[in-house]
Structure 1
Amino acid sequence: MKRTYMLALALLAIGSGSSAYAASTPTTDQLEAHLWQLARATDAQGKRIDALFVRGREPYTLRFQPGYMSELNLCNYASSQYQLQGDRLILENGVVTTAGCIRAEVAEQQRRASTLVNGRPAPTLALDDNGSLVLRNVHGDTAIFTPAPLPVK
């Protein structure tokens, strides 16, 4: 009976696509090796965060460079100093340009993106078994970023 129960649990974990067992904390080298494009985002209730996806615009993207994280493809450019403390993404000394966002949905994307990555306690980062970056914040939001090639210099 115990063996059947353990086998059922193992099959359930595999079948559900759960990456809880395969997740790992990324290193700065892993973060800086790619651009990270938003593929999925859900709130604490599991509902898609539509505001982060604007039709006709490139996906919200994170770029990590030595000591800095930039948020790309928003209405305004945002950059902060970053460091990892365990699995926590610590952002400090952020700057954001202040161009007016003409379209309301683009302004809302900017606001929602800021809420996603900023907050106390700091959001956590993990690499799942597919190589995607999983960000979770204090509000219960979860964002999945897929790796993309860095621009050619």
Structure 2
Amino acid sequence: MKRTYMLALAWLAIGIGIGIGSSAHAASTPTTDQLEAHPWQLTRATDAQGKRIDALFVRGRAPYTLRFQPGYMSELNLCNQASSHYHLQDDRLILESGIRTTALCINPKVDAQERRAETLFHGRDTAPTLALDDTGALVVRNAKGEVLVFKPAPLPAK
């Protein structure tokens, strides 16, 4: 029994040493093809202190969603819709020439969600970084230390 336990520990140490089991934090820079393959729905958002950004989640509404199409990134499921030209510069998301509709948000929670979403990508800060984690989620980190996790969603039916 003791020999089996020691042998298992040795194999575990060897496996970790060569990278087996160490992919829990593996990440890769997404390509435009990967970004444009489907919409991305927000599943988790934390501030620099690791606290959940509650304003980005409104009960009973579809999640805040990013949709990448050739040359454009749209922000969906807010009170207003927004779209910007985008391109990638290494792992950085560069947004330019954005437009946004200007409808009045009647629901105060949706209004708060939209105002908070505006600060994520569209500030004077440096461009956010993008990564795909080992589960296929899109992880966005901005200069303020906020971390957003978006899961891939199916494309709408035509």
Match of 1:91 in 2: 95
2:51 to 47, 54, 72: 47
Secondary structure of 2:68's aligned partner: strand
* TM-score normalised by L of structure 2: 0.84
Runs of 4+ in 1 over 3 A off after TM superposition: none
Q: CA RMSD in A?
A: 2.2
Match of 1:144 in 2: 149
Secondary structure of 2:104's aligned partner: coil
Contiguous gaps of at least 5 residues in structure 1: none
Match of 1:134 in 2: 139
CA deviation after TM superposition for structure 1 residue 43, in Å: 0.3
Secondary structure of 1:29's aligned partner: helix
Match of 1:122 in 2: 127
**Which structure's CA Rg is the greater one?**
2
Give me the whole-angstrom Cα distance separating, in 2, the residues matched to 1:35 and 1:61: 7
Secondary structure of 1:113's aligned partner: helix
Contiguous gaps of at least 5 residues in structure 2: 1-9
Q: Deviations over 1:78-118 (max 9, x none)?
A: 00000000000000000010000111111111111111122
Aligned residues: 144
- Percent of aligned pairs with the same amino acid: 70
Task: Verify: 1:62 aligned to 2:59, yes or no.
Answer: no
Secondary structure of 1:82's aligned partner: strand
Secondary structure of 1:46's aligned partner: coil
CA deviation after TM superposition for structure 1 residue 18, in Å: 4.5
